[in-house]
């Protein structure tokens, strides 16, 4: 009994102090919270007000440049990406990024328009103007032609025609337009290649040595998958169809690659294309490339992010001027190195 009353007394004595303490602490943490929020808001304002460099706010751009400088130094141009046994590869790689892809492209009408060559007129595939080539599209095209891609019901792709940037913005296709839908440097796509060159077929490409390579594919959005690619080394292709050299004997510095309609395009240092793991790829998971993965020909380039690995390649142009790059002019790094 006596114990009870004592404890009740002490509770009565203690409670007001406790309540006061709680009230004080609540006020304090509310105040701290408010101050922190205000500081964050001011910080964000300053961040957003800062100048944009290549469409990116300065702090992001500096981090981006720093990362690519470091990876360039560490990896150099000759380091190899890790390779894996084919058994580690995913069975059905995830398709992503349908810009410029025409799922209804008639495979028989595919040609590789190759320009900037040394004496192309000596080759049987020579044409005076590669722009004269017309790709054909199958009017009776149905989803059936893309059965191999239809398992991805959660990521439905419009398989019936051309995917433009506008209808892609609705989905999570990457690497994705600049935040809040603004394109930092909206630029028209580069003109389609023209002039003397070659119109190569898949048979021409398949004459070159076949190479299989299982490497990790990385999208800049943060996902990756181990994929088995098959095709020819760009280097072997280059040696088979040599570019026109400069007056001093040096090689052209760049090459531009684009889709049949020219709406997705990627620019490269020739040195990166000559890396032994850069493939002109026509197989994935030991099957012919599917339309959503860029049939009939795409790049596989394990030391670059996915956005440089252009699908449904229709043209390759050697040049000395730095070519435009689709995502390079939409806030991403032109080089795209990991």
Ligand X SMILES: Nc1nc2c(c(=O)[nH]1)N[C@H]1C(S)=C(S)[C@@H](COP(=O)(O)O)O[C@H]1N2
For 284-290, the CB contacts below 8 A with 24+ separation are 284/93, 284/227, 284/228, 284/229, 284/230, 285/89, 285/90, 285/91, 285/92, 285/93, 285/227, 285/228, 286/86, 286/212, 286/228, 286/230, 287/148, 290/95, 290/146, 290/148, 290/149
Residue 322, token pair as written in the block: 């730095």
Rounded least distance, CB 91 to ligand X, Å: 14
If the CB atoms of residues 127 and 313 are measured against Mo ion, the closer one turns out to be 313
**Dist CA 147 CA 305 (whole Å):** 27
Question: What is the number of alpha carbons within 13 Å of residue 230 lying toward its C-beta?
Answer: 12
Residue 137, token pair as written in the block: 């599209």
Choose the one of Mo ion, ligand X, none that binds residue 176, judging by a C-beta under 5 to 8 angstroms depending on kind.
none
If the CB atoms of residues 54 and 177 are measured against ligand X, the closer one turns out to be 177
Tokens 């380039």 locate to 301
Rounded least distance, CB 96 to Mo ion, Å: 6
If the CB atoms of residues 27 and 169 are measured against ligand X, the closer one turns out to be 169
Residue in 230, 267, 291, 306 binding Mo ion, rule: CB under 5 A: 306
Q: Does residue 328 touch Mo ion according to CB under 5 A?
A: no
Where does this chain bind ligand X (CB under 6 A)?
A: 93-101, 174-175, 219, 259, 264, 293-294, 306-307, 309-312
If the CB atoms of residues 221 and 236 are measured against ligand X, the closer one turns out to be 221
160-179: which residues touch Mo ion (CB under 5 A)? 174-175
Rounded least distance, CB 166 to Mo ion, Å: 18
Q: Does residue 211 touch Mo ion according to CB under 5 A?
A: no
Question: Phi and psi (nearest 5°) for 84?
Answer: -130, 160
Choose the one of ligand X, Mo ion, none that binds residue 230, judging by a C-beta under 5 to 8 angstroms depending on kind.
none
Query: What's the start-to-end Cα distance of the chain, in Å?
Result: 76
User: Which residues would be at the binding site for Mo ion (CB under 5 A)?
Assistant: 174-175, 219, 306-307
């Amino acid at each position: 009994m006596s114990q009870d009353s004592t404890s009740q007394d002490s509770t009565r004595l203690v409670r007001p102090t406790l309540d006061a303490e709680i009230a004080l602490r609540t006020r304090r943490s509310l105040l701290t919270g408010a101050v922190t929020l205000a500081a964050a808001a001011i910080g964000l304002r300053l961040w957003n007000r800062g100048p944009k460099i290549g469409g990116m706010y300065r702090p992001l751009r500096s981090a981006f440049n720093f990362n690519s400088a470091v990876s360039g130094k560490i990896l150099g141009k000759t380091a190899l990406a890790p390779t894996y046994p084919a058994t580690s590869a995913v069975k059905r790689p995830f398709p992503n990024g349908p810009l410029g892809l025409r799922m209804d492209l008639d495979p028989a009408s595919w040609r590789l328009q190759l320009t900037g060559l040394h004496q192309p007129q000596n080759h049987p595939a020579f044409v005076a103007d590669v722009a004269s080539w017309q790709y054909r599209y199958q009017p009776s095209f149905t989803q059936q032609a893309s059965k191999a891609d239809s398992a991805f019901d959660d990521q439905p792709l419009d398989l019936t025609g051309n995917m433009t940037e506008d209808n892609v913005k609705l989905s999570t296709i990457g690497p994705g337009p600049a935040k809040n839908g603004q394109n930092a440097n909206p630029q028209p796509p580069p003109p389609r290649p023209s002039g003397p060159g070659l119109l190569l077929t898949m048979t021409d490409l398949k004459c070159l040595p076949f190479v299989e390579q299982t490497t990790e594919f990385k999208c800049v959005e943060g996902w990756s998958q181990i994929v088995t690619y098959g095709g020819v080394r760009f280097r072997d292709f280059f040696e088979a169809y040599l570019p026109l050299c400069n007056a001093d004997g040096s090689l052209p510095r760049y090459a531009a690659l684009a889709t049949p309609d020219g709406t997705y395009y990627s620019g490269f240092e020739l040195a990166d294309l000559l890396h032994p793991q850069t493939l002109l790829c026509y197989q994935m998971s030991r099957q012919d490339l599917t339309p959503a993965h860029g049939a009939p020909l795409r790049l596989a380039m394990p030391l670059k992010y996915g956005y440089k690995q252009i699908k449904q390649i229709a043209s390759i142009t050697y040049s000395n001027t730095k070519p435009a790059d689709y995502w390079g002019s939409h806030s991403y790094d032109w080089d795209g190195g990991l």
